[in-house]
Structure 1
């Protein structure tokens, strides 16, 4: 058999032709295969990472736009809206300034009232002090009662004046002798009928009421060689009673 007859064989195996079994798919044309290869998506890792970054950037831009949108309300408002807003703000500001002025006036009034009340209280205290010094108002407080008996008539005006001065030096604020309120200009005189205090006659026993510290005055009167010893040397008896409350009711004419 020649080569040509072999090439015209029945096409079985080994005859040089491809196997065309029943499961063989028909071959696609070369042009379609090239087009499909061009249309098939080709995604690399770098492209995927770039896409994710773009997505995140988009979310950030949207969030920023929403945030700035709230801050640009006035920028996007119309002119008449801005005029209304400014007018409302001006009215509110004026009302607040008015409230502030009222509060400041109220504070000033309260301060004036407080200062006036303080000044009035100080004036009352000064008046009370002057009244006590002048002897024009009654007084009450702790002190002593000193009774000087003079059975022999040996007590003189100078002795009573010394008693008043000793009490004052010991801190007596108010002194009454019998029914006479002692003042800054009180004087004692020896008269034909006895001792006079500011022109008023005094009769024994001589009773001193003094408001002040009881202990200090008692100690001062009883010092060795002091008033008590002097009065006793003149034949008088001296009795001193400290008291928690002494009432001086005698007053002097203004």
Structure 2
């Protein structure tokens, strides 16, 4: 039986040694080849991943892609138009709210002014206090009426007599024993008339020639006028209940 050849075994052993030596101590050429292989492999992996990220439109033709873009543009335009419409609606609502608030505030101001004129609320403001004291004679009712009328002409906003009776457009004056009835209430002298308005204007409406002061003095009374920066009128008129009157249609 022939003996196995030792040449082949030696060749294999030598090849392994050369491979191990090359791995442990690679040459410059081997390093360059390895680096190129690594770059090629990395590029291949990156390309494969890029294909896997999003291939939604990968198979679309050029016209199909154009149609998709046109559809997206149309959707954007509709969204922008809807946004503009909503913003316009919001602006209109804000404008309507502002107009409504302004109308409410104006209505409240008018209601407050009417309440003052109707004498249904207490008021405070600058004005004058006229004190009429009977000395040598009795104050004539016409002289008192003229005094009230001149105060109205001088833009009086509110008046009261003796702190008890609020004077309004419908206030009545009648002669009484020992005094004057004002809206059914007997008031005795001295008569104190509180008037709210511009003090200088109201004062001027009392002292012009043959005006209220001259008339009252001819009746035998003395008149004292005080200009006040703050005057309280607390007497009020109870609102009259209307049983039959109703607002008209305005037509």
TM-score range, shorter chain: 0.5 to 0.7
The C-alpha deviation readout for 1:158-177, integer Å capped at 9, x for no partner, is 22111100111111111111
Q: Is 1:139 aligned to 2:139, yes or no?
A: no
Question: 1:150 — aligned with what?
Answer: 134
Question: 1:243 — aligned with what?
Answer: 228
Q: Is 1:200 aligned to 2:192, yes or no?
A: no
Show structure 1 runs of 4+ deviating over 6 A: none
Cα distance, 1:153 vs. partner?
A: 5.3
Cα distance, 1:137 vs. partner?
A: 1.5
Question: 1:181 — aligned with what?
Answer: 166
The C-alpha deviation readout for 1:127-180, integer Å capped at 9, x for no partner, is 111111111112222111111112455113222111100111111111111111
Question: 2:111 — aligned with what?
Answer: 127
Cα distance, 1:192 vs. partner?
A: 2.7
Question: 1:80 — aligned with what?
Answer: 64
Which entry has the higher C-alpha Rg, 1 or 2?
A: 1
Structure 2 unmatched ranges of 5 or more: 1-60, 240-251
Q: Choose the corresponding residue for 1:164, options 127, 148, 151.
A: 148
Secondary structure of residue in 1 paired with 2:92: helix
Partner Cα distance (2:166, 2:152) in 1: 14
Cα distance, 1:208 vs. partner?
A: 0.7
Please list, as runs of the form range in 1=range in 2, the aligned pairs for 1:1-254 lying within 5 A after superposition. Answer: 78-152=62-136, 154-178=138-162, 179-254=164-239
1:252 to 1:153, Cα distance in 2 relative to 1, 3 A:
farther
Structure 1 unmatched ranges of 5 or more: 1-76
Cα distance, 1:118 vs. partner?
A: 1.1
1:156 and 1:195 in contact (8 A); partners too: no
Cα distance, 1:205 vs. partner?
A: 1.2
How many residues align? The count is: 178
Partner Cα distance (1:152, 1:180) in 2: 26
Secondary structure of residue in 1 paired with 2:180: strand
1:137 and 1:251 in contact (8 A); partners too: yes
